[in-house]
Amino acid sequence: MERRGKWVALLSYTAVLSLLTTGGVVAASPAKATLKKAEAFASTVGNTEVKLQACSPDKATASVSDKAFTSWKPLDERPVMEGITAIATGKIFDEAGYGWRPGISYAFTGDGQVWKWGYQSDEKYEPQKLAGIKDAKQLTTDYVLTGAGEVWKIDEKKAPEKLAGIDKIKNIQQIDLHDGVLFLLNEDGSVLKWENGAKAPQKLTNFSNIRDMYSSSFSLFLVDDQGKLLYLEGQSGELDTNNAKVMDIPGKVKQVAVDYSDLALIQTEKGEMYRNDTKESEKVMRAAHADGATRMAVGGEGMYLIVKKDGSVWGWGHNTFGMLGENQPNQVEVPVKITGLSDITDVQAGTDHVLALDKKGNVYSWGSNMTGQLGRIPVTFDKWTELGEIRDVKQVVTELDQPYFVRKDGSIWALDGARVPYEVKGPTKIQQLDSILNSPVTLNQSGQIQLWTSKFSSCNTLALPYRIKDFVGGEEHLLLRTEDDRFLTVKLSFKSEERGGVYVITDLQPTKVEDLKIDAGLAADVSKLYANPYTFFALTKKGQVLFAERKDEEPFKSMTLIPGLEGIRELAPEYFVRYTKDIESVWAINEAGEVQEIQSYPEREGNDAGAIKVKLEPKTEEGIAKVSGRLRITKDGQIFEHDWEPFKKQKVAAPVRLISSTYDYAIEGPGSHYHVLVTEDDKVVIIGDNPYGTGELQPDKVRQ
């Protein structure tokens, strides 16, 4: 089953700081350093390398409450899917995807009803039964084949329609990237071709005695009754049915599995396995380690899966999205067992996710959940959703791979696989948490800035000669404020490499420290720091707003007042649109509840973007109590979000004291866009899309 995707792109940007290690640390200097030390450091500001020192473990402090969390509700209490007799996946080809990992999943019951979940135009991603479809045997994007051999055209907006004059069909294959052309295999072995707008199918006289068909997003594979495999290649741009060639397979073909890009596993009647990869070789290659498989699938970016006779599932090839195992290398040469599965009878691979069916009729899934294709982790929270209670939270951070909570005792908490809070091991005595390039950065109670690897597994400390009292993370810079109200930017360099189809940070190193000029009176009055992709912002106690000026790729030079803003009590950046030169908005709310938009943008398009400009929009919103990104809570107790249709204005269930928002975009489409709220009575609330990350690597059961 294939499906063409939107031309939407999202950066799947999991940052890993692999070269920072644990060890001892040199303690930070006292707040009042000697004049000699201060002068020595001042002389280095401009182009001096910033050193890293390994972190030493702080002794954890006692919890400020006897129990950190209470009344935590299971995220999903729906029953698991049962009584399934067959599974299928949709393959979405999106050449401009940049990490956008959509998918479609199907499950068939014994009476031919169909469950569908994942990507579809109405964005109803949760598992649901397709209305009006009975006795289904096979599905494509726009058509369903019944057990009676009938073909019906399906549409999300209207009832299915039977294709007139067509019956006794045993297989259908739709190739979306060739105008949705549909191939139909008759019970007599003949092949029909149905094109969009046609009144009747065309019989292909050059195909006869065909036993089975398979397809990618481009091409068609056909097996005849002699076991020969015909390949009708369509990747070159034209699908000419007169150009089918016979593939050189040593033996009669029994079954084939194909991904969206023509990668294929081919099994002969003797159980021998072969692999087709036209990019690697013009000839099929032997895959002896997969001999005897009962079922097989190809997905990801060259990931091969088989079911063995004992019901176990094994895989090798490209470890796309970590689906072969989070600790496995990028390329797995020898098949590895997929844990958590037993008694499996079938496996099907979508573009970036996998389904498995067991003997009991349960469906398992793992991989990307960008559009809900796993069917077990909710994607969209379009209403106020209370999860439970975490006491004594002083900060919520949503810019990393999942929500994190900093508590008053300096501990950091997160949510486990069951979405239950747990304390993160490693960081202690934390005063503030932020991120840079999706990697955690903390300020501890000793005034030290710590750079952490992914999942807080290890950290290094910035070796600075005095204590830091506040900071914020930007795209490739940190903005630091010292205890004596000095403002510094630290530039970080990084390297990246592909791991499992995702480009990750492999080395994050500070390179330069720059002094940021600011009026002494304003510096002492700054109450909070903010960042967006282009620049930094500061809010003063008097309600003035400053931004960091820069030109081209030069360092930030100074903090400058934005005229026309007074009495501001909070800023709300819309964070984060990557790889574009689009306008980035920051909303400012004053004491009267009026909200005004600050727009920041580069002077020019292209690599030479020029200076960063800011502009104050004259239009204001009124009657607003709280802002966070585009989220609004009104003074009369309503909550809503600009430009997000699923979330309608609704009543706030409880007074809110903390909000954190994240918008992880790239070029066009959202992949993770959500808000975490903490109420005054410590309840944790979620609103938005993909708040728990965009996938799961451990197989688990699909739920109704």
Look at the chain and count its residues.
704
CA quadruple 659, 663, 664, 669: dihedral sign: positive
Mean residue pLDDT across the chain: 86
**Residue 94, pLDDT score:** 65
**Selected residue with higher pLDDT from 540 and 501:** 540
**Selected residue with higher pLDDT from 337 and 493:** 337
Q: Is there a domain that residue 304 lies in?
A: yes
Q: Is there a domain that residue 76 lies in?
A: no
Q: Is there a domain that residue 357 lies in?
A: yes
State the residue range of the domain holding 210.
84-368
CA distance 675 to 382: 11
Q: Rg of the chain over CA atoms, in angstroms? A: 28
Which of these ranges, 54-58, 151-155, 324-328, 358-362, has the smallest mean pLDDT?
Answer: 54-58
* pLDDT classification of 125: cutoffs 50, 70, 90: confident
User: Residue 296 maps to which CATH number?
Assistant: 2.130.10.30
Which of these ranges, 36-50, 396-410, 446-460, 635-649, has the smallest mean pLDDT?
Answer: 36-50
State what percent of residues in the chain have pLDDT above 70.
86
CA distance 336 to 304: 11
**Residue 4, pLDDT score:** 31
pLDDT tens digits, one per residue of 462-489: 999 889 999 999 988 999 999 999 999 9
**Residue 48, pLDDT score:** 59
Q: Name the domain count of the chain.
A: 1
In a 13 Å sphere around the CA of 349, the CA atoms on its Cβ side amount to 31
Which of these ranges, 290-304, 379-393, 474-488, 600-614, has the smallest mean pLDDT?
Answer: 600-614
**Selected residue with higher pLDDT from 49 and 459:** 459
* pLDDT classification of 416: cutoffs 50, 70, 90: confident
Q: Is there a domain that residue 520 lies in?
A: no
- The helix or strand, by DSSP H or E, that contains position 513, with its residue range, turns out to be strand 502-515
Q: Is there a domain that residue 274 lies in?
A: yes
pLDDT tens digits, one per residue of 200-215: 899 999 999 999 999 9
**Residue 646, pLDDT score:** 80
Order of strands across the sheet with 104-109?
2-4, 84-93, 104-109, 114-118, 128-129
Q: Is there a domain that residue 450 lies in?
A: no
**Residue 670, pLDDT score:** 52
Of 148, 258, 154, the residue nearest 213 (C-alpha): 258
**Residue 28, pLDDT score:** 33
* pLDDT classification of 608: cutoffs 50, 70, 90: low
In this prediction the pTM is 0.85
Q: Helix H segments across 450-533? A: 520-525
- Tokens standing for 151? 């073909």
Inter-CA distances, 423 with 317, 336, 432, 698, Å: 35, 32, 16, 21
**Residue 36, pLDDT score:** 36
DSSP string over 74-135: PS--PPBP-SEEEEEEEEEE-TT-TT----EEEEEETTS-EEEEE--TT---S-EEPTT--S
Mean pLDDT of the 71-84 span: 80
* pLDDT classification of 164: cutoffs 50, 70, 90: confident
CA distance 117 to 105: 5
In a 13 Å sphere around the CA of 268, the CA atoms on its Cβ side amount to 17
Of 553, 517, 538, 549, the residue nearest 586 (C-alpha): 538
Q: Is there a domain that residue 439 lies in?
A: no
Q: Is there a domain that residue 487 lies in?
A: no
**Selected residue with higher pLDDT from 377 and 529:** 529
**Selected residue with higher pLDDT from 3 and 505:** 505
* pLDDT classification of 19: cutoffs 50, 70, 90: very low
- Tokens standing for 528? 């909070």
* pLDDT classification of 458: cutoffs 50, 70, 90: confident
Residue 2 has pLDDT above 70, yes or no: no
- Tokens standing for 479? 């903005």
Residue 10 has pLDDT above 60, yes or no: no
CA distance 277 to 266: 11
- Tokens standing for 434? 């932020």
Task: Specify the 3-state DSSP secondary structure of 362.
Answer: coil
Instruction: Determine if residue 169 is left, alpha or beta; phi over 0 gives left, psi from -120 to 50 gives alpha, anything else beta.
Output: beta
